[in-house]
Amino acid sequence: MLVVGLIKSMSITTTVQKAKVARQLAEKTLTAARKNDLAGRRRVVARLGDVEAVKKLYDVITPMMEGRPGGFTRITKLGRRKSDSSEMCVLAWVSEKYEPKAEAPAPEVSAEAKA
């Protein structure tokens, strides 16, 4: 399963179509893991079927994504494969710290506009 490979190696090289499907599964799995309860852990183990991957997901990846509301993975296109011309890409976890954008102050209304 691509998601298990993504968790274990932190990034994988695959076709764009496979990466888009794996991205959906990885994001849902990480969202379930972020709840950090027993039922969530059992759901993740049932989905992945690999205890090592689940341990790494909870110990390494989940703390890395703390505070991030979504968008845990990134797809970087690499170009076409020579053998069959499939579009290739790298699917990886986002490793930068999440910093929420500061809200822009509301524009002040001039006295002329109020009148």
| Contact by Cβ (8 Å): 39, 65 | no
Q: Which two tokens stand for residue 83?
A: 């053998």
Average pLDDT score, the chain: 89
Domain boundaries, the chain: 2-93
Q: What is the pTM of this model?
A: 0.80
Q: Is the pLDDT of residue 27 over 90?
A: yes
H or E segment and range at residue 43 = helix 38-48
**Angle at the Cα of 86 from the Cα atoms of 83 and 92, rounded to 5 degrees:** 115
Task: Please write the tens of the pLDDT for every residue from 46-61.
Answer: 999 999 999 999 999 9
Q: Is the pLDDT of residue 112 over 80?
A: no
Q: Which two tokens stand for residue 94?
A: 């986002």
User: What class is the 2-93 domain?
Assistant: alpha beta
Of 28, 32, 29, 25, the residue nearest 2 (C-alpha): 25
At residue 25, φ and ψ (nearest 5 deg) are -65, -40
pLDDT at residue 111, rounded to an integer: 66
pLDDT at residue 28, rounded to an integer: 93
Q: Is 36 helix (H, G, I), strand (E, B) or coil?
A: coil
Q: Is 91 helix (H, G, I), strand (E, B) or coil?
A: strand
